[in-house]
Amino acid sequence: MPKRYSIAEARANLPTIVDEVEAGSTIELTRRGKPIAVVLSRQQYDALRSERPRFSETYRLFLERFRLEEIGVDRDYFDSLRAAGPGRKVAL
């Protein structure tokens, strides 16, 4: 569970909060007792923001790394597992 600071406490303790975040903690900021923001390290932020490779890119890298014919897998086998289209429409 992240440590919590009110906005007023955060103002008064910013250097301490920065030290805690640098040490790996996640800090939750509250206003009137309700959580409104999270302070986290740059490393944690970068990990959250990093883009994961698309399936097609991962598949291409997989094909470059492994020779399917050598392990007895027909290259066409994987074509039937995932359609190239955008998928079905979903009403939200």
Give the C-alpha separation, 42 to 49, whole Å: 10
Which tens digits make up the pLDDT trace of 11-67? 999 999 999 999 999 999 999 999 999 999 998 998 888 777 777 788 888 888 888
pLDDT at 83 over 70: no
Give the C-alpha separation, 32 to 51, whole Å: 35
Q: Where are the domains of the chain?
A: 1-70
Three-state DSSP state, 54: coil
For the whole model, what pTM was predicted?
Answer: 0.54
**Spatial contact of 13 and 4, defined as CB atoms under 8 Å apart:** no
Query: In the structure, how many helices (H) and strands (E) does the chain have?
Result: 4, 3
Q: Which pLDDT score, from 0 to 100, does residue 84 have?
A: 67
Q: Which pLDDT score, from 0 to 100, does residue 82 have?
A: 65
pLDDT at 78 over 80: no
Residue with tokens 């074509």: 79
More confident residue, 63 or 3: 3
Q: What tokens were used for 36?
A: 């409104």
Count of alpha carbons within 13 angstroms of residue 52, beta-carbon side: 4
Q: Which CATH architecture does the domain made up of 1-70 adopt? A: 3-Layer(aba) Sandwich (3.40)
Q: Which pLDDT score, from 0 to 100, does residue 23 have?
A: 94
